[in-house]
Amino acid sequence: MATPADPLEIPDAALLSAAASGDIERVAIALAAGARVEARDTHGRSALLLAVIGDHLAVARLLVDRGANPNAVDHRLETPWLTTGVTGSVEMLEILLPAGPDMTIKNRYGGVAIIPASERGHIEYVHRVATAGIDVDHVNDLGWTALLEAVILGDGSDTYQEILRILLDAGADRELADREGVTALQHAQRFGYHDLVAVLLS
């Protein structure tokens, strides 16, 4: 004889599917049917994390209004808040801020949200999150700050020049070195990123 299904299983699955696709009507229906706002998929991802990954703003707003946790950690140590640093969505950042995200929470590389944002060249995001109280000098497990990562993993273009200016204006310490004792300036010089060198020397 088949075991009766958990009465929350179907609404939870419906919520997660709808959040991932950005279907706010289906999200609302699933919640009304009893779906748990903190339901998780097989990878430990919450509905809010799935909405953030897809940059589904209306869905994320509804879930935050229903109390969704911006710090819910999945199996890869990602959270809705940390993922905004990857996507660079300032709009999503603004939706999550009222929910009180933990800006000290770390991803699987030991970094906070501003580090992947700096690496990926998300100018507007870096500017906004730097004013939101995040530690611009946080050091990840590789021994890199946002400033170092922007130089080492960036391409020296105008985008990364602006990222450096934003970080420095926010108080980033240009003298912080990596584990080998190499500073952002020295990395820029080694790569031949003359424009970045100029910014770091300004």
Domain spans, the chain = 8-102, 103-202
Residue 10 pLDDT: 87
The torsion defined by the Cα of 81, 85, 89 and 93, in degrees rounded to 10, comes to 40
Q: Tens digit of pLDDT per residue, the chain (202 long)?
A: 344 445 446 899 999 999 999 999 999 999 999 999 999 999 999 999 999 999 999 999 999 999 999 999 999 999 999 999 999 999 999 999 999 999 999 999 999 999 999 999 999 999 999 999 999 999 999 999 999 999 999 999 999 999 999 999 999 999 999 999 999 999 999 999 999 999 999 8
What would be the CATH architecture of the domain defined by 103-202? Alpha Horseshoe (1.25)
Do the domains 8-102 and 103-202 sit in the same CATH topology, yes or no? Answer: yes
Q: Which CATH number fits domain 8-102: 3.20.20.70, 1.10.287.130, 2.40.50.100, 1.25.40.20?
A: 1.25.40.20
Residue 15 pLDDT: 97
**Most distant pair of Cα atoms in the chain: their distance:** 75
Asked if 86 and 52 count as a contact pair (C-beta separation under 8 A), the reply is: no
- How far out from the chain centre does Cα 15 lie? 22
According to DSSP, the residues that pair with 177 across neighbouring strands are 183
Residue 168 pLDDT: 98
Residue 138 pLDDT: 98
